[in-house]
Amino acid sequence: MVKVTANDIIKLKHAGTPIVCLTAYDFPTAATVEEAGVDLILVGDTLGMVVQGHDTTLKVTVDDVVYHLSMVRRAIARPMLVGDMPFMSFQKSDEKTMANVGRMVKEGGAEAIKLEGAQPETLTRTRKIIGAGVPVMGHLGYTPQSVHYFGRRVVRGKTAAQAKDILENALALQEAGCFAIVLEMVPWQLAGLISRALRIPTVGIGSGVECDGQILVLHDLVGFYRGYSPKFVRKLADVTGAMRDAVQEYGELVRSRRYPAQEESVALTEDVWKEVSRLEKAAED
Ligand code: KIV
């Protein structure tokens, strides 16, 4: 097993091999996702929605991401582990940004970080983070931390002006040293154009098949999220249904005393039982 690095992710693009990325937020899920053979695992701030039950990603803290990173870290060896920089963790100052990146890497075990947007300060901080030896993944198109600006899950890049802006930002992130860029909810033709214009890979979510790789939120993919499911999500399993069926069956078994069975219980030896059963008689007298 060879550990996947940022360079390997770039090489996959140049080999024409689509890059398989997914989120994972806990130990058993991450172990399963690795077993299934992904290249990159993101501990994204969607954990605020699919795990914590908030309706946006904005409440997620650096502590939250570090906590989930450390669970995933213990479970995986091969895939590259990327930690998402939550809202306001990289906007305040260079010092705070670097301290937060340090926590993600040292405490959480992240091998790279992802941050949204390409503001001038974001580009400067991207260079500093890479200068400290930590690979950075960009995120353009729909950026969920700007939900109150863009609205909820809105396609970006539909006008020529927006498309030009996203392309320019992608080139700027590449110039700043990013090893990959997530393109979220961008029209497929624009995603294809950007993917061809860049040396580094694009990783699409709702941005069509011409991206160099794809990422989805695992909870969406396996049917374990009750919130809104956008049209780009392909639900390949029904974990909610499977779990509900199992719990319902458990309830029926418990109520009908068909669980636990003898073989699922521990028995006393005959001798001990003889002695202990006297206690029951004594208690009755
Ligand atoms: O937090 C997340 O899950 C993400 C993906 C949507 C790329 O940023």
Encode pLDDT of 70-99 as tens digits.
999 999 999 999 999 999 999 999 999 999
Question: Tens digits of per-residue pLDDT, 239-276?
Answer: 999 999 999 999 999 999 999 999 999 999 999 999 99
Task: Identify the CA nearest to 116 among candidates 77, 74, 149.
Answer: 149
Structure token digits, residue 200: 């580094």
Whether residue 42 contacts residue 113, with contact meaning beta carbons closer than 8 Å, is answered with no
Cα–ligand 1 centroid distance for 264 (angstroms): 42
Cβ(207) – ligand 1 distance below 6 Å:
no
Residues of the chain with CATH 3.20.20.60: 6-237
Q: Is the CB of 23 under 6 A from ligand 1?
A: yes
DSSP label of 19? E
Q: Any idea which of 18-22, 66-70, 144-148, 210-214 has the lowest mean pLDDT?
A: 144-148
Q: Give residue 64's pLDDT.
A: 98
Average per-residue pLDDT for the chain:
97
Is the confidence at residue 204, as pLDDT, over 90?
yes
Whether the per-residue pLDDT at 109 is higher than 80: the answer is yes
Q: Supply φ then ψ for residue 2, to 5 degrees.
A: -110, 130
Q: 33: CA distance to ligand 1 center in Å?
A: 16
For residues 198 and 260, give the distance between their C-alpha atoms in angstroms, rounded to a whole number.
59
In this predicted model, what pLDDT tens digit does every residue of 148-183 receive, in sequence order? 999 888 999 999 999 999 999 999 999 999 999 999
Q: Is 84 in the pocket of ligand 1 (CB under 6 A)?
A: yes
201: DSSP letter: P
Ligand 1, atom 4: closest residue by C-alpha: 44
**Residue 284: pLDDT above 70?**
yes
CA of 181 to the centre of ligand 1 (A): 12
pLDDT band at 1 (very low <50, low <70, confident <90, very high): low
Confidence (pLDDT) at 220: 98
Helices (H), ranges, the chain: 6-14, 27-35, 47-50, 62-75, 94-106, 120-131, 147-150, 160-176, 188-197, 218-221, 239-255, 270-284
Shortest-distance atom of ligand 1 to CA 217:
3
What pLDDT score was predicted for residue 285? 76
CA-nearest residue for atom 1, ligand 1, is 44
Task: Please tell me the predicted confidence (pLDDT) of residue 25.
Answer: 98
CATH topology of domain 6-237: TIM Barrel (3.20.20)
* Ligand 1 near 217 CB (within 6 A): yes
147 Cα: distance to centroid of ligand 1 (angstroms): 13
Q: Probe ligand 1: pick from 80, 182, 232, max atoms within 8 Å of CB?
A: 182
Q: To the nearest 5 percent, what fractions of the chain are helix, strand and coil?
A: 45, 15, 40
